Amino acid sequence: FVNGGTSETHGTSLGESGRKTIKRFFEKGGSYIGACAGAILAATNVDGENHYNNTDETVTNYTFGLWPGNASHTGWPANYGEEGVDSNIYTGITVSEDLAGKSKSLNAGDTVEPVRHHGGVYAQEKYVTPGNASYYADTFVLGRYAYCYWQQGWPGSADRYANPDNLTDPTNDFLGTNRDHNGQAAIWAYKPSDDSFKGCVIMSGSHPENVETGEIRDLMAAILRYALDGQ
């Protein structure tokens, strides 16, 4: 499991040998889970640019290259609101049938909320890595963003949030230009079919890992079970 943080700093601090150690763990059958920055580090491309094995000396290589896809930042801010006020960003994540099958309490189509989102990512499903146009056949969407919002604590009225019904509402002052990520892949897995000896990679753009009870805890437990079954 690789946690959140600043992905480039995290990846470069490991050095090339450290990154190769994680890649070797995966190639020998171990499963990998990454949340937020951990999801970015699992990818090959970030925001459309190769950061795994780019030969351009002006580009920093810092990802692990476990998943041959592109992790794109949502553009949702890490925090929003008045200084000193609880202003976390939260998402609702709709669970897929595959992931619900790893849980005794979650059902396919359930929307788990509120999952903290801190400058995270989504999987660009239409992105094609050059030379590997068919990679997406081995990627499985386990959860999708239902909506994203800011509010002062939970529960309460989410009076500033983005969903398909109010994106054009002039009173919706949610920050960021990318407010239309509803339905994008929020949690996804990669299990290469061409090599059964490799493990499974699960990436989450948000943070389900720091909650001890309830549906969010059950979501994280299902992710762990999915990873264990993929080893």
- pLDDT of 131 > 70? The answer is no
What is the pLDDT, as a whole number, of residue 142? 96
Task: Indicate the pLDDT class of residue 133, thresholds 50, 70 and 90.
Answer: very low
What is the pTM (predicted TM-score) of this model? Answer: 0.86
- pLDDT of 164: 40
pLDDT digits 0-9 by tens, 31-42: 999 999 999 999
CA 143, 145, 147, 150 torsion-angle sign? positive
pLDDT at 85 over 60: no
pLDDT at residue 44 tops 80: yes
Q: Other CB atoms closer than 10 Å to residue 221's CB: what's the count?
A: 16
Asked whether the CA dihedral 73, 68, 6, 147 is positive or negative, the reply is positive
State the number of CA atoms in the 13 A half-sphere of 45 facing the CB. 16
pLDDT at 159 > cutoff 90: no
Does the pLDDT at position 201 exceed 50? yes
Say how far apart CA 172 and CA 51 lie, in whole Å: 35
Tokens of 126: 């239409």
pLDDT tens for each residue of 165-195: 444 555 544 433 345 577 889 999 999 887 6
